[in-house]
Chains A and B, each alone.
Chain A
Amino acid sequence: MRMAGRKIFISGDEAVAEAVRLVSPHVISAYPITPQTVAVERISDFVEDGSLQAEYIHVESEHSAMSAALGAAAVGARTFTATSSQGLLYMAEVLPYVSGARFPIVMMNANRALAVPWALLSDHRDSLSQLDSGWIQVYCEDAQETLDMIIQAYRVAEDERVMTPMMVNLDGFVLTHTYELVELPDQAALKSFLPDYSTDNKMDLDVPKSVCLAAMNHYMEYMMKQELDMRNVESIIEETDREYGDMFGRSYGGMIEQYMCDGADAVLVTLGSVTGTARVVVDSMRSEGYKVGLVKLRFMRPFPKAEIIEIGSKVKAIGVVDKDISVGYEGIVFTNVNSALSDLDRVPQRLNFIAGLGGRNVSKAHIRDMYMQLLEVAEGKEKEKIQFVNARCEYNG
């Protein structure tokens, strides 16, 4: 049954904090200095005023934040931490410890540009640099989805078939600092959606065993098990999203969302908040008769390979918007999408739009231009394959 909740006008950061209060982790560890966001300050307020019963550990660095979360998870605690940009990179050493030990830590990452040059505005290069860390990665479009995904993340990560940490990504400033109306799920109903966490995968004085173990001779098999389990995560993400939708009235389509893709000749693939702007463009272009659609890529790991192949089999041209660049090659999302499409006998035309680096504006006019170019390559015209959008200098790619 659909449970309506209270609606409040809050920022993306505050939506994360409200979600954390609702899921009530045992332990929150965080380093509060830039590039950290105010999410952890709000959580600290909740612990202080008693509305969240949790152990809050202030640490001296992001590396320690993740290490403390790892330690708490190792004794069976539900844990949360948050970071952004350079902070995520400083955590990087600990990320495979967590995923390898199969601890379901949930982390918020505010997607902000890497230094230098120092910018800290919205950009995906931080989290995309950690695709190989063994964490599940989801990207959110607005504050409501962020709140819902923090909650869903615990349910997915703690599922005994999954037992894998999850990074919930939201665009720095564009989502973290923007206020919007957010509906809070009813806490009592949430209890039945997300039961208390308990696990055998922990250090326990009554049942002594080794966790975070050494496995010289079995390393390969451990990695293989991790990969095989990750492949099954997709169906659990979808089942969780559906059940959440049944209970709270909001679901997001699982691995991807297809928007106006029926009969589309050209689609754009987007990650994060730029999706919302692209929706407006698709609406107006569809009303003018252009056959365009939008694919919101929600998860980068596991990667929605089957879904991308299915879309690729239907359309003539696919554009990928990357708010990142793997210097020396192309956009990171583009590489992943291309890899999936290579399974097709007939691969659609593809363009890579590098846009929004360091928070550079991606306007409706820019997105419309991307679609117009895709419609042209669909008809056989040649276009530059990798393009920098709204850059103030020429690129001779």
Chain B
Amino acid sequence: MYEVRWHGRGGQGGFTAARLLGMAASVHEGKYSLAFPSFGPERRGAPVLGFTRISDEKITDRSQVDECDYVVFLDETLVGETTLLGLKDDAFILINTAEPEKYSTMTDKQIVALDATSLSLEVLGRPITNTAMLGALVALSRIVSLEALKKAIQDGMKPSLVEKNCAIVEKAFNMVKGAVNNG
């Protein structure tokens, strides 16, 4: 089972990313998935968490996600001592940042960076980084295929958002694919 934790701020679409990943895996790749937010009040701007569990088997475990395989930061101001806890030994940390070297001393885990803010301003015209980071995660992890992810965006986002978000996912995917060189 893969467990992914998404860090964002209310309104940045962290949970939407968690949900699109789950949709891609379950509806389009025949796997099982749960996607859920951190439970509690919803407030714009406040730190929020999203989670995606993905498995080839039906998932019945409803307890908290304790240790993740991947943690994704949509907003680098959320990277800190406590938000870097709860990771498996071989976990990856994905950060939306233009300065990844800032974080290399904070953790012994592997960091993958993408300047998703610049990319989203260029492609979407707005600094909404959730789908860019989703493309980055899929390039790194191959939990689902790029095609399944694009289908999930077509099914799961407003029609007016689909074209540009498919484009940004593909761009982010190719940028990170080149960087991590995992085929």
Contact = CB atoms under 8 A, between A and B. Distances in A.
B24 to A, nearest CB: 9
B27 interface: yes
Contacts of A201: none
A274 B64 CA distance: 11
A181 B19 contact: no
A290 interface: no
A178 B34 contact: yes
A305 interface: no
A178 B63 contact: no
A9 B37 contact: no
Interface stretch (A88-96, A328-336, A361-369, A377-385): A361-369
Contacts of B37: 177
A227 to B, nearest CB: 35
A141 B60 CA distance: 9
Interface residues of A, number: 28
Interface in A267-283: 273-277, 279-280
A276 B27 contact: no
Contacts of A173: 36, 39
Contacts, number: 70
Interface in B58-96: 59-64, 66
Interface residues of B, number: 21
A121 B39 contact: yes
B60 A364 contact: no
Contacts of B39: 121-122, 173-174, 177, 359
B32 interface: yes
Nearest to A171: B62
Interface in B1-37: 19, 22-23, 26-27, 32-37
Among all A-B residue pairs, the 6 with the closest Cβ atoms:
A276-B60, A173-B39, A178-B36, A9-B23, A181-B26, A179-B35
Interface of A: 7-9, 121-122, 141-142, 171, 173-175, 177-181, 273-277, 279-280, 359, 361-364
11 contacts: A9-B19, A9-B35, A121-B39, A142-B60, A174-B62, A177-B39, A178-B36, A179-B33, A180-B34, A273-B62, A277-B60
Given A121-B40, A179-B34, 16 more contacts: A9-B26, A9-B27, A122-B39, A174-B39, A179-B22, A179-B33, A180-B22, A180-B34, A181-B26, A181-B33, A273-B62, A274-B62, A276-B60, A361-B63, A363-B64, A364-B63
